[in-house]
Amino acid sequence: MKLQKAVKDETTFVALGSVILSVLMVIVFFGLNKAFPEQVPMGMPVLVGAAGGCAVAVGNFFLMALTVQKVAGIENYEQAYRSMQVSYRYRTFLQLIWCVLTMVLKFINPVAGMLPLLWPSLLIKGRGIISGVKKQGKEVNV
C-alpha cells in the first residue's frame, strides 16, 4: 500500500506541531520549576516524558491515518467499520500502556509524558477553527 500525500502532509503537520508544543511544555516546566522548585520537578524525567509522549502521540496519529487510508478503499461498510474499531482499540490500548509506564517508571515524568497525547487533537481542532474564522472573514468582506 502506497502512502497517500494527505497522510504524509497531515502526519508532518501533527509531528511538527507536537514537537513545538512539547518544547513549549518543557519551557513551561522549566519556568515553573524556577518559581516553585519544590512542587514542579525539572530534569531528565521531564525530557524523557515529553519525547516519549510526543512519539506515542505522533505514532498513534500516523496509525490512525493509515487505517483511514486503508478503510477508504473498502466497499463493504461492515468490514470497514470493524477495521476502524480494531484500529481504535489497539491504538487506545497502546496509549494506555504508555500512560501506565509514565506512572510506574521513575525516569519518566507522568505529566510530561501524558500531556503530549493531547497535542494532535488540539492541533487539528485549532487548525479547523482558524480556517473557519478565515472563511467567515472572507464571506463578510465579499
Interval 11-67: pLDDT, tens: 999 999 999 999 999 999 999 999 999 999 999 999 999 999 999 999 999 999 999
Would the pLDDT of 141 be above 80? Answer: no
**Could you tell me if residue 19 is inside a domain?**
yes
The total of structural domains in the chain comes to 1
Contact status, residue 110 vs residue 103, Cβ threshold 8 Å = yes
Domain that holds residue 37: 5-121
Answer yes or no: is 128 within a domain: no
In a domain, 129, yes or no: no
- The pLDDT assigned to 94 comes to 96
In a domain, residue 135? The reply is no
- 104 located within any domain: yes
User: For residue 141, is it within any domain?
Assistant: no
Structural domain includes residue 40: yes
For residue 47, being part of any structural domain is answered with yes
CB burial readout 11-37, b (16+ within 10 A) else e: beebbebbbebbeebbeebeeebeeee
CA distance 32 to 86: 40
* Residue 112 confidence (pLDDT): 97
